[in-house]
């Protein structure tokens, strides 16, 4: 392999190591909320989708944080956490839903995540009749 290739690899590695060390020194936790899985699959279009979902969240400072649906003001789950939290629940919906991570004291929205609903079969308008002959 050529000198130019190896020089690029070495410089790229050095930059990655240095930037990783610089990032690690800040010790900042980014506020995030993610759903796993983030998609629910129903058998037919228009049917309710059921799936166990885990919401994972991280916050920059300790405090009391809550999760709620975007269209609903009711708090689904609240917990005092240091940095990271988990919430497991049974998802049930016919449409895509958005969940929000909020700080309980200020009710400020910190992060959001979507859970999409998909279908294996599209809804058909005609009825299928089984006939032998």
The domains located in the chain, with CATH, are: 28-121 (2.60.40.2470)
The C-alpha atoms of residue 98 and residue 70 are separated, in whole angstroms, by: 6
Model confidence, pTM? 0.71
The C-alpha atoms of residue 118 and residue 37 are separated, in whole angstroms, by: 12
Tens digit of pLDDT at every position of the chain (133 positions): 554 444 443 444 443 333 343 344 445 668 999 999 999 999 999 899 999 999 999 999 999 999 999 999 899 999 999 999 999 999 999 999 999 999 999 999 999 999 999 999 876 666 667 777 6
């Amino acid at each position: 392999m050529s000198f130019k290739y190896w020089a690029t690899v070495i410089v790229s590695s050095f930059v990655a190591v240095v930037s990783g060390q610089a990032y690690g020194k800040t010790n900042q936790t980014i506020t995030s909320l993610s759903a796993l899985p983030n998609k629910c699959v129903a058998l037919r279009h228009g049917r309710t989708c059921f799936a166990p979902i885990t919401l994972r969240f991280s916050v920059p400072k300790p405090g009391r944080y809550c999760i709620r649906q975007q269209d609903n003001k009711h708090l689904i789950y609240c917990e005092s956490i240091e940095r990271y939290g988990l919430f497991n629940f049974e998802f049930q919906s016919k449409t895509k839903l958005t969940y929000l991570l909020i700080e309980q004291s200020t009710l400020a929205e910190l992060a959001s995540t979507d859970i999409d609903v998909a279908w294996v079969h599209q809804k058909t308008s005609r009825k299928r009749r089984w006939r032998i002959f």
